[in-house]
């Protein structure tokens, strides 16, 4: 399934986000709920692309029973995810075991890969669970961001 939808309000934002829930959303600027979701759902993964024009705050977690890897492709001002301050080029790792407080003050563009936990081989699953969750690394040279942009 491929879905692409622009939104101009909270209801449209929530409805266009396939397998994602938006809890406790707060609008921080006038265009907080303006943007677009682009989703490619495959049997082995979910690729989500999100653009938001204005600042907002809400709680987020990965889709149910999935690990997610998010790449911050563009960030015009400030944003944070849990206790991490975000920058363009950050790669975040999270799952559905907890909700994270997400806040942005301006335009942000994010690409997210969500992988079902039962499809990940045990050594990789252990690495995700014990070392990567709730952490970020830098997308050196923007390689992952460029690959995701070309899909």
Determine what percent of the chain is predicted with pLDDT higher than 90. 44
Which of 8-12, 42-46, 141-145 is the least confident region? Answer: 8-12
**Mean pLDDT of all residues in 2-31:** 72
Cα distances (Å, whole numbers) of residue 65 to 11, 62, 104, 116, 119: 25, 8, 26, 6, 10
Fold of 2-150: Jelly Rolls (2.60.120)
What residues does each domain of the chain span? 2-150
Residue 93 neighbours by CB distance under 10 Å: 19
């Amino acid at each position: 399934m491929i879905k692409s939808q622009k939104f101009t309000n909270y209801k449209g934002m929530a409805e266009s986000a396939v397998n994602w829930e938006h809890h406790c959303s707060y609008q921080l600027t006038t265009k907080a709920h303006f943007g677009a979701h682009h989703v490619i759902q495959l049997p082995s993964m979910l690729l989500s692309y999100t653009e938001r024009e204005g600042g907002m705050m809400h709680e987020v977690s990965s889709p149910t029973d999935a690990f997610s890897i998010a790449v911050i492709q563009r960030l015009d001002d400030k944003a944070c995810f849990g206790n991490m301050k975000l920058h363009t080029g950050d790669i975040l790792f999270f799952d559905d075991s907890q909700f994270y407080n997400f806040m942005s003050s301006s335009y942000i563009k994010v690409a997210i890969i969500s992988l079902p936990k039962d499809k990940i081989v045990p050594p990789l699953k252990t690495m995700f669970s014990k070392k990567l969750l709730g952490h970020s690394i830098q997308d050196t040279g923007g390689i992952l961001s460029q690959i995701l942009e070309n899909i």
